[in-house]
């Protein structure tokens, strides 16, 4: 019997990367773009082949900008809004998302999402409660907060590309930032993240944020140190000016680990759930070698 292992795919992170990294000239028989579909399948095949999971989940953003996060920090992802609460996404990618869902359903690769939550929250919940060693595949650094050697949770970080991904564990985090997974939330809050509309504390960059978390153990310790006069007057003033933001941002940045997902079967199949449907999609969408590679990866289980 293979050793248990769970792979959690940050699906949107991967199909965005595929869309922007693979030529848009890849088209279905009817001319529709399929570069994100083909690229995603290749990414899934690579990780399934290399890490031999027994379980997988393609985690989904049912709500990419949850109202409860926006209520806490109104600027959260606000710059990505096209209109109303619709995300600004290239039309050629929008057209491929239903195709991705069709292909994943035909393969029988579990797609897991929940209304009111982001894929991050789904990954946080599944990783925290998994009985098996777990790898989270993403290009989002905020998920470093899930790294936990005791729970055997790593992040396979694709920031430099899928082929050159980093295996992020506690040793990696300490070497890079001198903090561990639980400390990453407060580090990210202080540093901020313009890509998510999180301003951070003005004047506190990555190095200072990491040093504060390493020295004082987290936000509670940092605020206590500021109150007691153990921080420099400049840092104390900067934190005081951002106190309202700090009170809300921690809850926004922290991924949820308690999303009610019900009973799930995440077992990785060795063959498609609907072989005829997948064969039809592979032909119509001209998935070519990507279809062959995902089938071969699944067959190894």
pLDDT tens digits, 21-44: 999 899 999 999 999 999 999 999
Residue 87 has a pLDDT of 80
For 30-48, give the DSSP string: TS-B-HHHHHHHHHHHHHH
| 81 pLDDT above the threshold of 90 | no
In which region does residue 232 sit, left (phi positive, over 0), alpha (psi from -120 to 50) or beta (all else)? beta
Q: How many beta carbons lie within 10 A of that of residue 114, not counting itself?
A: 19
pLDDT tens digits, 246-277: 989 999 999 999 999 999 999 999 999 999 99
CA gap 87, 70 in Å, rounded: 14
Q: How confident is the model at residue 153 (pLDDT cuts 50, 70, 90)?
A: very high
CA gap 258, 30 in Å, rounded: 43
pLDDT tens digits, 206-223: 999 999 999 999 999 999
β partners of residue 100: none
Phi, psi of 245 (to 5 degrees): -60, -45
| 90 pLDDT above the threshold of 70 | yes
Residue 124 has a pLDDT of 98
Mean per-residue pLDDT over the chain, rounded: 95
Residue 197 has a pLDDT of 92
Residue 183 has a pLDDT of 96
Long-range contacts of 73-80 (CB under 8 A, 24+ apart): 73/197, 73/198, 73/245, 73/248, 73/249, 73/252, 75/197, 75/198, 75/199, 76/196, 76/197, 76/198, 76/252, 77/196, 77/197, 78/197, 79/197, 80/197
What is the rounded end-to-end Cα distance, in angstroms, of the chain?
Answer: 10
CA gap 285, 28 in Å, rounded: 4
pLDDT tens digits, 41-77: 999 999 999 999 999 999 999 999 999 999 999 999 9
Residues 6+ apart with CB under 8 A from 30: 284
Of 80-94, 152-166, 214-228, the range with the lowest mean pLDDT is 80-94
Q: How confident is the model at residue 83 (pLDDT cuts 50, 70, 90)?
A: low
State percent of the chain over pLDDT 90.
93
CA gap 300, 281 in Å, rounded: 22
Q: Which domains does the chain have, with CATH numbers?
A: 6-169+260-290 (3.40.50.1010), 184-253 (1.10.150.20)
Residue 82 has a pLDDT of 67
For 188-232, give the DSSP string: HHHH-BGGGTB---TT--HHHHHHHHHHHSSHHHHHHHHHTT-S-
Single out the residue of 24, 9, 12, 37 nearest to residue 288, CA to CA.
Answer: 37
Arithmetic mean of pLDDT, 172-182: 95
Q: How many beta carbons lie within 10 A of that of residue 95, not counting itself?
A: 14
Which residue spans within the chain are E strands per DSSP? 6-10, 55-59, 81-83, 86-87, 111-112, 134-138, 153-157, 166-168
Q: How confident is the model at residue 182 (pLDDT cuts 50, 70, 90)?
A: very high
pTM of the model as a whole: 0.96
Q: How confident is the model at residue 84 (pLDDT cuts 50, 70, 90)?
A: low
pLDDT tens digits, 99-129: 999 999 999 999 999 999 999 999 999 999 9
């Amino acid at each position: 019997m293979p050793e248990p292992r769970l792979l959690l795919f940050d699906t949107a992170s991967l199909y965005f990367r595929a869309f922007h990294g693979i030529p848009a000239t890849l088209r279905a028989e009817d001319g529709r773009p399929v570069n994100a579909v083909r690229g995603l399948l290749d990414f899934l095949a690579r990780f399934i082949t290399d890490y031999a999971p027994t379980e997988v989940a393609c985690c989904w953003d049912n709500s990419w900008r949850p109202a409860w996060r926006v209520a806490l920090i109104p600027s959260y992802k606000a710059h990505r809004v096209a209109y109303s609460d619709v995300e600004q996404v290239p039309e050629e990618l929008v057209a491929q998302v239903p195709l991705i869902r069709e292909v994943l359903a035909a393969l029988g690769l579990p797609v897991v999402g929940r209304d009111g939550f982001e894929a991050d929250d789904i990954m946080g919940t599944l990783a925290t409660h998994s009985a098996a060693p777990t790898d989270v595949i993403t290009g989002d650094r905020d998920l470093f907060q899930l790294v936990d050697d005791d729970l055997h949770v790593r992040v396979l970080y694709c920031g430099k590309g899928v082929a050159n991904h980093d295996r992020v564990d506690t040793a990696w985090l300490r070497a890079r930032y001198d903090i561990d997974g639980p400390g990453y939330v407060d580090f990210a809050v202080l540093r901020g993240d313009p890509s998510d509309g999180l301003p951070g504390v003005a004047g506190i960059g990555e190095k200072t944020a990491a040093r504060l978390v390493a020295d004082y153990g987290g936000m509670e310790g940092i605020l206590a140190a500021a109150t007691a006069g153990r921080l420099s007057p400049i840092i104390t003033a900067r934190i005081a000016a951002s106190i309202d933001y700090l009170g809300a941002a921690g809850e926004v940045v922290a991924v949820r680990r308690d999303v009610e997902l019900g009973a799930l079967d995440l077992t990785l199949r060795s063959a498609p759930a609907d072989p005829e449907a997948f064969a039809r999609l592979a032909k119509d969408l001209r998935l070519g070698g990507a279809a062959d590679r995902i089938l071969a990866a699944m067959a190894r289980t």
